[in-house]
Amino acid sequence: RGWKAGCRQLIGLDSCFLKCLLKSEFLTAVGRDTNNQMFTIVSAVVEMECTDSWVWFFNLLSNDLGLEDKYGYTIISDQQKGIEIAISDILSRVEHRNCARHVFANWSMRKIGKSYECDFGRL
């Protein structure tokens, strides 16, 4: 109820490794409230990050928040494994965007040690 009442229609997703006796992943969904503060929507521990884990996570998230068949919501993620497939299957009308910081970091890492030239006359 708190997310629906006081947050923007934006959901940020992330995951991280849990390095303990049982290797697993921690999935979390957060929102931003009107004071631009993070608001934790839901968190879950799964065996591993894969399409099945994200489908299970999105099923629960969409049912709890009432996101089924609605427009106007945006999900931001950092290109986790299987997330695009899960979003298109479960939340087909929700807009999905990749985090600009992660896209830039991934692009920069591929560019290290390489020289790229662009022929602007051909564009």
- Residue count (the chain): 123
Give the model confidence (pLDDT) of 34-67 as tens digits: 888 888 888 899 888 888 988 998 888 888 888 7
DSSP-derived secondary structure for 7-27 = B-SEEEEEEEEE-SSS-EEEE
> What is the radius of gyration, based on Cα positions, of the chain?
17
Handedness of CA 92, 30, 51, 58 (dihedral sign): negative
- The whole-chain average pLDDT of the chain stands at 77
Determine what percent of the chain is predicted with pLDDT higher than 70. 76
Q: In the CATH hierarchy, which fold is given to the domain comprising 3-109?
A: Nucleotidyltransferase; domain 5 (3.30.420)
Would you place residue 106 in the very low, low, confident or very high pLDDT band (cuts 50, 70, 90)? low
Would you list the domain boundaries of the chain?
3-109
